[in-house]
Structure 1
Amino acid sequence: MKRQKRDKLTRAHAKGYQAGISGRSKEICPFQTSDTRSEWLGGYREAMEDRQLGVVVR
């Protein structure tokens, strides 16, 4: 059975979240198109909120 690839926007969001959790800069966003870049930054912002609230413990 073939595995389906995840949606690119979902993947971009997840990668942005991971970058935010690890404390990396938002300037390292690897995406150039506006839709995927927007999703990546959305994940990044969500991770930064979670870090401030103390949801994530490193």
Structure 2
Amino acid sequence: MKRQKRDRLERAQSKGYKAGLNGRSSEACPYQQMEARSCWLGGWRDARVDLQAGLYK
């Protein structure tokens, strides 16, 4: 049985979250399409909020 790929927007959000945890700038977003860029930035913002809340060190 073939494995189904994750949704590209979900993947963009996940990569943005990881970038935010690693301290990368929001300007480092690799996506040009507005929809994917929006998801990446949403993940990035979520990670920054989690860092400020003390969930990660």
Stretches (4+) displaced over 2 A: none
Structure 2: how far apart are the matches of 1:30 and 1:3?
Answer: 26
Q: Which residue of 1 aligns with 2:8?
A: 8
Number of aligned positions between the proteins: 57
Structure 2 residue runs of 5 or longer lacking an equivalent are: none
Counterparts in 2 of 1:1-58, with a 5 A limit? 1-57=1-57
RMSD: 0.5
Letter in 2 for 1:43: G
TM-score, structure 1 normalization: 0.95
TM-score, structure 2 normalization: 0.96
Structure 1 residue runs of 5 or longer lacking an equivalent are: none
Letter in 2 for 1:23: G
